[in-house]
């Protein structure tokens, strides 16, 4: 039970420090989970990829990390820990939105968060580079982004193409 509490408290801290879907907190999450020995670098990267693949919030990777740390009870501990702060914060914002929208400090805070989010996103890219994402994966990612942004290709087609490509690569490498 002590391990489950440790998982909950770790993800509660990570969830409290997260914003923007948790992606900005990815470097800290990688550092903490790998240092605790709950996952290896490769397992962290695999969990991140799984979290991106499944529908829903992109931080569903915590299911994988919680399972690795403390089994099935760890899954629930990681999920509740990661998403509880955001849920409480969203409820608080909804209740106080009208007041906050009029306040000067709120507008200033929102403007200040833009460069912070950009810096954290850049650190996320650095973590992915350190985890060993190869040049072909980066090239594929840039190509997919170009298809989505500049060509307006529907996301469903890109996901289907990625699935077909993954099956073909799996068959070739098997």
pLDDT in tens, 76-103: 999 999 999 989 988 888 888 777 777 8
- CB count, 10 Å around CB of 146? 11
pTM over cut 0.85? no
The pLDDT, as a whole number, for residue 74 is 97
For the chain, what is the HEC assignment?
Answer: CHHHHHHHHHHHHHHHCCCCCCHHHHHHHHHHHHHCCCCCHHHHHHHHHHHHHCCCCHHHHHHHHHHHHHHHHHHHHHHHHHHHHHHHHHHHHHHHHHHHHHCHHHHHHHHHHHHHHHHHHHHHHHHHHHCCCCHHHHHHHHHHHHHHHHCCCCHHHHHHHHHHHHHHHHHHHC
pLDDT in tens, 6-45: 999 999 999 998 876 666 688 889 999 999 999 999 899 8
């Amino acid at each position: 039970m002590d391990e489950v509490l440790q998982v909950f408290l770790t993800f509660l801290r990570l969830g409290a420090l997260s914003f923007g879907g948790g992606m900005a907190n990815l470097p800290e999450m990688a550092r903490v989970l790998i240092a605790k020995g709950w996952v290896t670098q490769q397992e962290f990267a695999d969990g991140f990829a799984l979290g991106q693949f499944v529908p829903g919030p992109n931080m569903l990777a915590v299911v994988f990390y919680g399972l690795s740390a403390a089994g099935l009870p760890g899954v629930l501990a990681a999920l509740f820990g990661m998403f509880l702060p955001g849920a409480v914060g969203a409820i608080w914002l909804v209740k106080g939105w009208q007041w906050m929208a009029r306040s000067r400090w709120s507008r200033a805070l929102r403007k200040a968060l833009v460069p912070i989010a950009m810096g954290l996103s850049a650190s996320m890219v650095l973590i992915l580079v350190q985890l060993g994402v190869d040049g072909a994966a980066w090239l594929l990612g840039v190509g997919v982004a170009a298809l989505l942004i500049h060509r307006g290709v529907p996301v469903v087609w890109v996901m289907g193409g990625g699935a077909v490509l993954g099956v073909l690569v799996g068959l070739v490498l098997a």
